[in-house]
Amino acid sequence: MKKIYVFKVFERFWHWSQALLIITLLISGFEIHGSYNLLGFATATDIHEICAWSLVGLWIFAIFWHIVTGEWRQYIPTLDRVNAIMNYYILGILKKEVHHPYRVTRLHKHNPLQILAYIFILLIVGPVIWLSGWFYILYEYWPIFGLENLSLKLVATAHLLGAYAMLLFLIVHIYLITTGHTLWAHLKAMITGYDEA
């Protein structure tokens, strides 16, 4: 095994900041939904809005960074070895197979299945959450835009389904952290920037 520097400082900052904001959004959002009472409705709403706008700012900056540095190329989709990777995650891990069918490099940080998952989050789940969230925030202005017949329940349901999809992604993401050659190899790479290939 040799160490290669894969994740730059900004990528690690972006990853952990995004994770913290998304977890806080999930906790505050489910409280706003009425799932439990931890902070109180008003406090949870304030925290939720602050974190949402912070995440928007982080994403805008991250998009700019990806374009300027050329790191956007990391997310070009491919189906190359997707079946082998899926077989590894579904059966290979259970059979205690040691070798993952994909090797991380500096130019290819994510395996093809990860790329497809990230694209799904960025192009489907993210827009559902953001659009429904903005509709929520701008509810009092709906009549100005001729949206008074739009169902608030429909907007709330879309936002909730987006939140559940993000929660599912987070759970799977955390599980997959443990599937490296050691239990915490992937986590260590996102802390130090170095992956062992």
**Cβ neighbours of residue 30 closer than 8 Å, sequence gap 6 or more:** 36, 163
- Structural domain of residue 184, as residue ranges? 3-24+53-196
In whole angstroms, what is the distance from residue 185 CA to residue 2 CA?
A: 13
Q: What integer pLDDT is reported at residue 111 of this predicted model?
A: 92
Q: What is the CA radius of gyration of the chain?
A: 19
pLDDT, tens only, 23-82: 999 999 999 999 999 999 999 999 999 999 999 999 999 999 999 999 999 999 999 889
pLDDT digits (tens, 9 = 90+) for 65-87: 999 999 999 999 999 889 999 99
- Cβ–Cβ contacts within 10 Å for residue 9, how many? 8
Question: Quick check: helix, strand or coil at residue 13?
Answer: helix
Domains of the chain: total: 1
pLDDT in tens, 136-174: 999 999 999 999 999 999 999 999 999 999 999 999 999
- Is 48 contained in some domain? no
In a domain, 190, yes or no: yes
Within-domain flag for 174: yes
